[in-house]
């Protein structure tokens, strides 16, 4: 008998990177989910399998062993990918107070290392599945905290925005010092996501921006300030459903991110194509350096934009916002 939990991916509408430096960001959960199934084992090992990554292995005390071919990865690489999940399991087992073996299987609809928060969605789904299997009642705040600790292992100094949106769902205004505030968005936001297929590390992109900030503190101070104003202006446009203003702000936000050096050719190609095809605005989403971009378009332009992104070699899809955060799917 097992427990299945799921958690949503996310799109950062405005404010990625600036959020790491204390500015606000606007983020929404989308209808692409990660599913994690937790089951008891007969032995005391912790077994993790990611179906999409073709990755699996056992942890036993401090030892790690891979199972199967693991997509040609080294033991070290496979271990580093699964380590955050082991930390989650250990943390929950600590609360449980007994050493039991667990098998966790992860199935995901979310492209990996693409700026859509796949690792945070995995972390929150795994946290929810294990705690439910062990009959431990965790609040959403607890799930967020445990997943956030795991995210720190993956990304170095994450802002916490990814585990927050995966846990709570909906649309959030997030700021590191004040936390997150749910935002009511009364309109449907027809967001087109275009993934470049270029994998990148969030940690590397965040470090790049940090280095630039250290080198040019005065210049970057104003870039961050602009980022804040974009979020504030976007907030009222979102509440009014003013897509035109949101599109303009996406373009300005992207220009700032480009200036910070976190765009790349693959993103620029898709962003330019979407704008030419009539999108109201387009920008990278998440850490950049590859990964995905988003475009906002009026209904009649959605299909042409999807088509042009495909033609340019991207993997496009239409994302719908979802209010559903992490949840138990079944026992």
Rule CB under 6 A: which residues touch ligand PMV? 12, 16-17, 19-20, 115-117, 155, 158-159, 161-162, 202, 206, 286-287, 291
End-to-end CA distance of the chain: 7
CA distance 180 to 177: 9
**What does the block give as tokens for 306?**
């999807």
What 3-state DSSP class applies to 6?
A: strand
Q: Which of 31, 61, 142, 162 is catalytic?
A: 162
- 17 or 49: CB nearest ligand PMV: 17
CB of 179 vs ligand PMV, minimal distance in Å = 14
Q: Which residues, 6+ apart, have CB-to-CB distance to 132 below 8 Å?
A: 3, 5, 38, 328, 331
- Active site (annotated) includes residue 177: no
CB of 120 vs ligand PMV, minimal distance in Å = 7
- 123 or 297: CB nearest ligand PMV: 123
- 162 or 277: CB nearest ligand PMV: 162
- 17 or 35: CB nearest ligand PMV: 17
CB of 15 vs ligand PMV, minimal distance in Å = 8
Residue 95: closest CA among 143, 59, 160: 143
Measured at CB, which residue is nearest to ligand PMV?
Answer: 286
Contact 124, 190 (CB under 8 A): no
Count CB-CB contacts under 10 A for residue 14.
28
Q: Which residues, 6+ apart, have CB-to-CB distance to 206 below 8 Å?
A: 17, 20, 155, 156, 157, 158, 287
CA distance 253 to 112: 24
CB of 185 vs ligand PMV, minimal distance in Å = 20
- 3 or 287: CB nearest ligand PMV: 287
CA distance 9 to 278: 26
CB of 253 vs ligand PMV, minimal distance in Å = 12
**What does the block give as tokens for 268?**
């620029």
Residues with catalytic annotation? Answer: 162
């Amino acid at each position: 008998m097992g427990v299945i939990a799921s958690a949503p991916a996310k799109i950062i509408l405005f404010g990625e990177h600036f959020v790491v430096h204390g500015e606000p960001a606007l983020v929404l959960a989308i209808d692409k989910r990660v599913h994690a199934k937790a089951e008891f084992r007969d032995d005391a090992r912790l077994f993790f399998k990611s179906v999409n990554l073709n990755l699996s292995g056992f942890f036993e005390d401090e030892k790690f062993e891979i199972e199967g071919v693991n997509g040609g990865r080294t033991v070290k690489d496979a271990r580093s990918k699964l380590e955050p999940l082991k930390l989650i399991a250990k943390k929950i087992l600590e609360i449980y107070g007994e050493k039991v073996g667990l098998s966790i299987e992860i199935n995901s609809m979310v492209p990996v290392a693409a700026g859509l928060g796949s690792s945070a969605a995995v972390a929150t789904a795994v946290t929810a599945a294990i705690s439910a299997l062990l009959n431990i009642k965790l609040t959403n705040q607890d799930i967020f905290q445990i997943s956030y600790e795991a995210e720190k292992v993956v990304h170095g100094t994450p802002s916490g925005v990814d585990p927050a949106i995966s846990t709570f769902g909906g649309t959030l205004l997030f700021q590191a010092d004040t936390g997150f505030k749910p935002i009511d968005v009364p309109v449907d936001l027809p967001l087109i996501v275009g993934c470049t297929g270029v994998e990148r590390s969030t940690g590397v992109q965040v470090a790049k921006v940090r280095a630039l900030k250290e080198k040019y503190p005065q210049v970057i101070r104003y870039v961050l300030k602009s980022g804040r104003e974009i979020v504030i202006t976007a907030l009222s446009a979102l509440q009014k459903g003013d897509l035109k203003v949101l599109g303009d702000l996406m373009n300005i936000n992207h220009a700032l991110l480009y200036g910070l050096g976190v765009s790349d050719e693959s993103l620029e190609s898709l962003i330019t194509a979407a704008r030419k095809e009539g999108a109201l605005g387009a920008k990278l989403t998440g850490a950049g350096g590859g990964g995905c971009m988003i475009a906002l378009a009026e209904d009649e332009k959605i299909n042409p934009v999807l088509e042009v992104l495909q033609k340019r070699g991207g993997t496009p899809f239409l994302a719908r916002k979802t209010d559903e955060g992490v949840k138990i799917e079944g026992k």
